[in-house]
Amino acid sequence: MPRKTPSGSWTEYAKQLGLNIQRKRIEKSMSQEQVAYAADLSRYTFQKFEKGESMPGTPANPSLRNIMAIAQVLGVGLDDLLPSPWPDLRAR
């Protein structure tokens, strides 16, 4: 079960991040394969990031390096991809 926080859960955050990545990719008229290759990711990994899941029921947890690589390929800033507000990960 995902950990609930005052600002939501990591599961919700990961899904919104994936939607933001997908939205920007479509705006740039790029395929998943094009972005993945340019960001030095496998297409499968990139698809999982866009979906917001690493396995069914498990939220994606991309590294900062991977998010930065995707942002650079799409020509956007991190603020364009990272949903706001961030979830409070200190909450238990």
Question: The domain containing residue 16 runs over which residues?
Answer: 8-81
Report the number of distinct structural domains present in the chain.
1
Q: What is the pLDDT of residues 10-59, one digit of tens each?
A: 899 999 999 999 999 999 999 999 999 999 999 999 999 999 999 888 99
Residue 1 has pLDDT above 60, yes or no: no
Q: Which residue has the higher pLDDT, 10 or 88?
A: 10
Beta strands in 1-92 (DSSP E): 4-5, 8-9, 53-55, 58-59
**Residue 86, in any domain of the structure:** no
**Residue 65 lies inside a defined structural domain of this protein:** yes
Q: Count the neighbouring beta carbons within 10 Å of the beta carbon of residue 20.
A: 16
What's residue 56's pLDDT?
85
**65, pLDDT greater than 50:** yes
